Each structure stands twice: as C-alpha cells, then as structure tokens.
Amino acid sequence: MEKRARGGKPPSNQASQPPPPPRKERRPSMFEKESYAQILRERLRESFHDVQYVEPPFDDSIADIGKEWKSALAKLKFANSYRMEPLKKFQAHSVETKVQQILKESLEDVKYDDKVFSHLSLELADHILLAVKEFGYHRYKLIIKVLFIQKTGQAINIASRWIWDVAWDSWVAAKHETETYVALALVFALYCE
C-alpha cells in the first residue's frame, strides 16, 4: 500500500524518475539545397548497392560531387533476354589446352614451397580466368580452382558437387606434375540463363 502525506496526495519521488531522453538531431532533407551535398557525401560513404538512376543536382557546385560518386557507383543493368541457350557453347578441349599451356609456362622451374604457393595459386587462378574470358563465352559463370599437392607418398581424392545442366554446363581439369608436387587447375563453366 501506498502511504499518503497530509492532504491525501501521494509523495513525489522526483529522484527515482528517469531523466528525459535527449532530443534527436533532425536529419537533413534532400529537398533543401544546402543539405543535398551532405546527403550525397553520406550516400557515397555508406552505399554498397548498385545505382540505376540518379537525380541531377540543383546547382553547379553540387554537380561536381555528383559526377564523382555517380561514376564510381553506377553499373549497367541489362534487361532479361529470356535466352535459354548460349550463343557459343563452352568448348572444353580448347580451354583445357590453354590452361595446360598456362600451367606449364608458369610452373616450369618452380620448386615446392607452401608459403609461395598460397600466393601463386591466386595469381594462377586470375591468369587462367582472364585467358578463358578471351574465348568469349558470354553468360557463363566461370569458377577456377587451383590446387597444389605436395608429393609425400600419399593418395588423394578431390571431389566437387554442383547443380548441373548437362546440356550447357561443363568443366575442365588440367594437371602439371613435377618431382615434388602436383598442380591441378579446375575450370567450371556454368551457363546463367
């Protein structure tokens, strides 16, 4: 039960009441010319998504800021073509010859070193990706895996699983073998409809 002071009013506990919350600062409006440049800078700093269309700025001083971030973030968007098959089918035999040639040239005099191979595998994957892109297989997603296996008398099995369209998707494996290691490059070509 609550004790009441004389006069029938409850005692006031001003010390136990929480302080009023601080006032939030008002966000700038994009319709105010002064704050438009600030909003553009914040979007440039915080944006991670594609920009399809950008409103032109209000005046010339803001136009320079808009050009910088518009060109940095804008990506071309293409409409769906509803194409169910590629213009040029992935030809595994020509890609395999090219990948085999790249492995042979790159690893000709290289000895096994696990510290060097961690960087070399990334460089080889990038080099193979660029070489396969030159064939001009449009709408194919290319996945490159480069593996270095040290020879120590062991056996190894490598397996990959994909959801596969047998008609258009394909893969290539190329191997380069020396006395101390085996280099294996896998190229997966997946057609994106």
Q: Taking the domains of the chain in order of start, what are their residue ranges? A: 33-74, 92-191
pLDDT at residue 8, rounded to an integer: 56
pLDDT at residue 67, rounded to an integer: 58
**φ/ψ of residue 83, rounded to 5:** -85, 125
pLDDT at residue 155, rounded to an integer: 86
Radius of gyration of the chain (CA): 31
**Sheet holding 181-191: strands in order across?**
140-150, 181-191, 170-177
Q: What is the crossing angle of helices 92-106 and 114-133, to 10°?
A: 140
Reply yes or no on whether the pLDDT at 161 is more than 80: yes
- Residue 7 or 81, more confident: 81
Amino acid of residue 25:
E
Q: What is the rounded (10 degree) CA torsion for 131, 134, 136, 140? A: 30
Nearest one of 183, 106, 181 to 147, comparing CA atoms = 183
Spell out a b/e string for 150-188, using b for 16 or more CB atoms within 10 Å of the CB, else e.
Answer: eeeeeeeeeeeeeeeeeebbbbbbbebeeeebebbbbbb
Residues contacting 17, CB < 8 A, separation 6+: none
71's tokens: 């060109």
Report the distance separating Cα 88 and Cα 140, nearest Å.
10
Find the DSSP H helices in 107-139.
114-133
Nearest one of 90, 85, 189 to 135, comparing CA atoms = 90
Reply yes or no on whether the pLDDT at 41 is more than 90: no
Superfamily grouping for domain 92-191: Tctex-1 (3.30.1140.40)
pTM confidence score: 0.58
State the average pLDDT over residues 84-111.
Answer: 92
pLDDT digits (tens, 9 = 90+) for 55-97: 555 555 555 555 555 565 566 666 777 778 888 899 999 999 9
pLDDT digits (tens, 9 = 90+) for 116-144: 888 899 999 999 999 999 999 988 999 99
pLDDT at residue 45, rounded to an integer: 63
User: What are the beta bridge partners of residue 87?
Assistant: none
